[in-house]
Structure 1
């Protein structure tokens, strides 16, 4: 599904742009937001390099700037800063950052109502001709702002009140500017198409989760292992399987809304009305993506533990090591980590006789790349390399960057937990939200890439729907493959046999 990025991954902490060259309302006549940025000091010293001024902090209309960067402000001033005028339009980075973070303080519908009021009602006169002229002048800017909003945060418009606001605005703009009315109609049509596509995807997730699945018990799997299809019978080429995994990853990434990163951590109170708004979603695409990671890990472990013969288990182990290596080369770090996680699960790692038949040198290299020590230093280095490759890519394949998603979520979580959203004086801590938006924006730029690989329908279907073992079933399958080594393991196997075979 085509997506748009807020500002091509570039971040400007100074959100000033004007479409006519006029200064922002809070700037001086030159357009600079700070009149104190002269290179000489106030005494007119001819040797300014002998004097090092401290950081400049200024306040304009409820917004606080530190060295020319917006760092905090009252919620009302920040909303006003979002509203375009005839001579001013906010920078795209500011639009994205504020729309992303504002939902911590007010519902998107509340924000929409206030923006509409400030755009159309605040300066309304009693003269219809003056009002029409003013609407005609401001209409293109309103359309531009709503285009940004609907393209980047389409889920906000699942609220019927938001859609009514869009329709009302379209009607109001028609009174002053026919071109803008048509433009708003196109915006609405694109939005409806996007919401339809998103809804269909979420329904498919729900349907897949509710579909009856054949019970795959360890006993049944062992009995049928000789004739059961396994992953290598579906796809024997590790490069092709890595490509199919990348298809799944990129499709699921493409449906995650940027607002989900805010809702996932910020809405904790059971009485929070905004959480009720979020729960109206039929599925959380962020959670569905995390579920996919878990499924892939369990699929890997199931495929390894199922075969009766040690030689076949070793072949599948080596196959998945090669798949993981190809995922690394592609830039698919999420599948890479899911495969490593599956192979490190206890039922797999205890298969010492199987591992003895495998050349583990390649696996050791992959584990080193994803080593969690020093805050995943090796992985973060590899991710930076993949990101740089993406920026200079000559082919669509080189543009693929799929981060280890659980760590990405963890980074955002600690950013949210480590910084207050409001300062002691009650102002919004916008420095925090610049950083949050920077991280989410980078994710959105990765999400834009199209998967260049040919789809293998049967392989994709197998990866998404073949049954996998539960924890207990994995443990029992492991014991059936290589017997218990001590009394504790023998007792565990006996208990698992009793419970699972009886079931």
Structure 2
């Protein structure tokens, strides 16, 4: 019989396999917007409108996520961080949470001791028993601690938690502890349980544990994108192989699949950076004289190609990214408050903060795509001084948005509508007077904010039910309006309390966030389309230049002159600014 491993001695990313859209021999030279082009039409609260990262913010040197919060070599200056990424990340968020949750034991700095014995907990009320050990814990119990919830994750030889509990726990426990600490505690408790088990029982316990670990690496692979997590995983798999050699095939599969997914993610991020680099080239006269109709003759074809782009970028988003984005935002706010406080005291020397853009890269890239499509639509319209072309293009984009609706591509539909509703386009009254507005009026119902977007949510629910019924067959596409998903997660995170009035963890909040992200967003990654992909059209859409907000307004005034006192004042200010 093999010896029991000692806990004291231990220390997905979804990317499409499609050929990258980017082509190195593309001849079009383009430019990026000179100002912040975050889409104000999106319905994320105003405090979140700094989500968008400009093209310059994607530095080719990405900082590794901290191995330990006290390691100064893995920190960068707050001013440098803000300049490169527009954000900074500090451990202040978790420091504050740690003060509230005394069971949050920090990691040891030595990798050889990554799995530490759990800290003895203060005697507390025992959570109620369910009718079956395999049932999810009751959501209304008011005295959960992080340790009692982690204990529910620990398998036995006869018990393994259901996925309906594993997912909310793995996703939302990060509101209270870092994923690395969760892995530390879970592994330590599981290994320690072997001491009172026979070898056969131990094998069953570790088999169940490996299933949980495998699910973690497949469903939330972003958690393993830092040295702290990957080092723990490597050592844990090594110890399990030592305990039971028959586990080698399982541990090898877990390690291989995870590294394959992370490698795909790295390749995808490099591809996005190449696109950003390409989009930073200078604007030339040829691009001003061409339009989308020359490249993509019909609005139906345009809707199909933007759907291809949507699916490739949607499938690259990790389930944990959306919540992690708001956790990072909270950390940024703490860091800014800290810096402000230190500045006020006159003791500021060099604020040490850490930020890893990889944690939310694909989610923010997806927001960038929404913004780009919105500005692309507006640019394509106002860059033409001929009214006939503007009428043709507005009609084209209305038809494209309508076909996106028929495809259940709600995200592109909202982005196109956003471009049509931007002030530089909306003010072109002489142009709009010649446009048929029947379809546009129908589409406008979807952006009605009354009753929390009831009309849109009803259509989305119907599309989701249809796709599920048909088991996400080809062309059962659902692409939700991502800004509204973000708003829902933000609302749950900020309006639902982390703790009950009795001081326990609010488990209902875990389940609500998990349902919103996994069932109403990530599930849509199963969407597939059968219509043909046209790389030439896609290249044009994602690399052709877009104007900044100021440039859009100036171009709009060239299309139709200022008529009101307010417009004349705006024009004068823009001309003065650009002299």
Per the normalisation by structure 1, the TM-score is: 0.80
Query: How many Å apart are 1:306 and its aligned residue?
Result: 1.2
Mean alpha-carbon deviation: is it higher for 84-93 or for 288-297?
Answer: 288-297
Q: Quick check: 1:78 aligned with 2:145? A: no
Q: 1:150 to 1:70 in 2, by over 3 A?
A: farther
| Aligned with 2:559 (options 481, 492, 497) | 481
CA-to-aligned-CA distance 1:296-321 (integer Å, 9 cap, x gap): 11110011111121111100000000
CA-to-aligned-CA distance 1:326-379 (integer Å, 9 cap, x gap): 100001111101111110111101111111111111111111233222211111
Paired residue for 1:426? 503
Q: Any conservation in 2 of the 1:71–1:431 contact (CA below 8 Å)? A: no
RMSD: 2.9
Q: Any conservation in 1 of the 2:479–2:524 contact (CA below 8 Å)? A: yes
CA-to-aligned-CA distance 1:264-287 (integer Å, 9 cap, x gap): 223413467xx9776252762212
Q: 1:269 to 1:499 in 2, by over 3 A?
A: closer
Q: Any conservation in 1 of the 2:477–2:524 contact (CA below 8 Å)? A: yes
Paired residue for 2:280? 213
> Following the alignment from structure 1 to structure 2, what is the Cα–Cα distance between the partners of residues 93 and 165?
25
Mean alpha-carbon deviation: is it higher for 136-145 or for 392-401?
Answer: 392-401
Paired residue for 1:445? 523
Q: 1:453 to 1:364 in 2, by over 3 A?
A: same
Per the normalisation by structure 2, the TM-score is: 0.70
Alignment of 1:317-336 (within 5 A): 317-336=394-413
> Following the alignment from structure 1 to structure 2, what is the Cα–Cα distance between the partners of residues 428 and 407?
26
| Aligned with 1:259 (options 310, 320, 327) | 320
Query: How many Å apart are 1:82 and its aligned residue?
Result: 0.4
Unaligned 5+ segments in structure 2 are 1-11, 16-126, 336-351
> Following the alignment from structure 2 to structure 1, what is the Cα–Cα distance between the partners of residues 569 and 204?
80
Unaligned 5+ segments in structure 1 are 5-24, 35-62
Query: How many Å apart are 1:392 and its aligned residue?
Result: 2.0
Q: Any conservation in 2 of the 1:390–1:401 contact (CA below 8 Å)? A: yes
Q: 1:145 to 1:277 in 2, by over 3 A?
A: farther
Q: Any conservation in 1 of the 2:241–2:251 contact (CA below 8 Å)? A: no
**1:269 partner SS:** helix
Query: How many Å apart are 1:153 and its aligned residue?
Result: 0.9
Paired residue for 2:434? 357
**2:331 partner SS:** coil
> Following the alignment from structure 2 to structure 1, what is the Cα–Cα distance between the partners of residues 179 and 409?
34
CA-to-aligned-CA distance 1:129-161 (integer Å, 9 cap, x gap): x77545423221121011110001111112223
Alignment of 1:187-226 (within 5 A): 187-211=254-278, 213-216=280-283, 225=288
> Following the alignment from structure 1 to structure 2, what is the Cα–Cα distance between the partners of residues 469 and 286?
23
| Higher RCO (Cα < 8 Å, 6 or more apart) | 2
> Following the alignment from structure 1 to structure 2, what is the Cα–Cα distance between the partners of residues 109 and 190?
20
Query: How many Å apart are 1:208 and its aligned residue?
Result: 2.9
Aligned residues: 439
> Following the alignment from structure 1 to structure 2, what is the Cα–Cα distance between the partners of residues 347 and 330?
28
| Aligned with 2:138 (options 65, 68, 83) | 65
Q: Any conservation in 2 of the 1:202–1:283 contact (CA below 8 Å)? A: no
Query: How many Å apart are 1:172 and its aligned residue?
Result: 2.2
